[in-house]
Structure 1
Amino acid sequence: MTSTEIVVTGERADLLEVLTKHRGLFRFTVHGITEDQARLRTTVSELTLGGLIKHVASVEQGWVRFIQEGPEALAAGEGSWEDQHRLTDGETLAGELARYEEIAKQTDELLATLDTLDVSHPLPTAPWFEPGAKWSARRVFVHIIAETAQHAGHADIIRETLDGQKSMG
Structure 2
Amino acid sequence: MTPPVGLRPATGSDGAAVADVYLRSYDAALPSVRRAHTDDEVRDFFTHVVVARGGTWIAEAAGEAVGMMVLEGDELSQLYLAPEWRGRGIGDRFVALAKDRSPEGLSLWTFQVNAPAHRFYARHGFTEAERTDGSENEEREPDIRFVWRPAAETPSGA
TM-score by length of 2: 0.27
Higher relative contact order, chain-length normalized (CA < 8 Å, sep 6+): 1
- Structure with more strand by fraction: 2
TM-score by length of 1: 0.26
